[in-house]
Amino acid sequence: MSEHSTDPQSNADAPPAPSNQGQQRQRASQLAQALHHELQKVLIGQSAVIDDVLTALIAGGHVLIEGVPGLGKTLLVRALARCFGGDFARIQFTPDLMPSDVTGHAVYDIQTEQFKLRKGPLFTNLLLADEINRAPAKTQAALLEAMQERQVTLEGRALPIPQPFMVLATQNPIEQEGTYPLPEAELDRFMLKLRMDYPDAAEELSMVRQVTRSTKADMLDVHPPRTVLQAKDVLVLQRIASELPLDEQVLDYAVRLARTTRSWPGLALGAGPRASIALVRGGRARALLRGGEFVIPDDIKSCALAVLRHRVRLSPELDIEGLSVDQVLKQLLDQVPAPRL
């Protein structure tokens, strides 16, 4: 009798799991929003860029940032690393940078008469790859394995990179001399490509006011952001986001967006399956950032431009007409019907 009586009790204990899951999701969303709030204190007038960088962080992807100098790209990465107590490393890419400068190399120790592995700056949580298109293809390729496999092979040994791991690479759109264009295989490894534009007049006024009060010449003397979570908490955010419910119609919408680029007039090259995967992962991260309980079509659409712009190529005719990739993609996003849930 007692055996039968314990059975319903154990069943009765099972249902609270969903509410517990809901509490976890709510807590994760609050942490993500706290992260956004701290970054906004440091980086003035780049709210959309902060949204996109946090989307990639929560989705476990890498980011390519394009923008003119002085818009705060390095400041953003340093602030983000400080906000989650993660390790941060910066590599200034130059034409003479060697692959071993990125991954590390073996050093002969005279005392032990053995080779020791000296790990490169890749072994970190957040890696800022500054002006990535200034390094030759061989050095750029050194990042590929790390970005895709989350490991580095040194002297025949596969060494795992600490998690979370995120590459934020920058490239300058106006200085084209001495640059090496990123190969398509590497571009495809970046989940998002962001464009950092000049701040608007009011934001620039606020920034100049803060900088000119500073005692550090042209450096922005901001209070260091608070550490709102630990590196291990980022892994929890990534897991919770990956488990957010996604309706089959929303999944179909993400795949249709990517597939439409392959036959869209004016695009000579469409996006591959990695784009579909990035749209879904990005949509889940956006849903978590806004505090949603499930993914809606707008979550997919809001990150679609950043997911697709570096994975497609304009046809020569539209290029000659002066149209940009973003203009063509905005037309596509307006015309591909989104599901109504």
What are the sequence ranges of the domains in the chain?
Answer: 24-231, 244-341
Q: What is the DSSP string of 136-154?
A: -HHHHHHHHHHHHHSEEEE
Across 124-147, average pLDDT: 86
Across 282-311, average pLDDT: 96
Give the pLDDT score at 215: 59
Query: Could you name the CATH architecture of 244-341?
Result: Orthogonal Bundle (1.10)
Beta-bridge mates of residue 195: 66
Give the pLDDT score at 59: 97
Residues 63-109: pLDDT tens digits? 999 877 767 777 888 889 889 888 889 999 999 999 889 998 877 77
Give the pLDDT score at 214: 60
Residue given tokens 């905005």 in the structure block:
330
- C-alpha span between 175 and 203 (Å, rounded): 26
Superfamily of domain 24-231: P-loop containing nucleotide triphosphate hydrolases (3.40.50.300)
Give the pLDDT score at 216: 55
Helix (H) or strand (E) holding 89: strand 88-92
Beta-bridge mates of residue 152: 159
Across 196-208, average pLDDT: 75
**Residue 244 token pair:** 């957010």
Instruction: Give the ranges where the chain is alpha helix by DSSP (H).
Output: 2-13, 17-42, 47-59, 73-83, 99-103, 137-149, 184-187, 201-213, 231-242, 248-260, 273-290, 297-308, 316-321, 325-335
Residue given tokens 């400041």 in the structure block:
75
Asked which of 3-7, 93-97, 122-126, 322-326 is least confident by mean pLDDT, the reply is: 3-7
34 CB-contact burial (10 Å; exposed 0-12 / middle 13-18 / buried 19+):
middle
Give the pLDDT score at 106: 76
Residues 137-196: pLDDT tens digits? 888 888 877 888 888 888 778 889 999 999 999 887 655 566 777 878 788 899 999 988
pTM of the model: 0.85
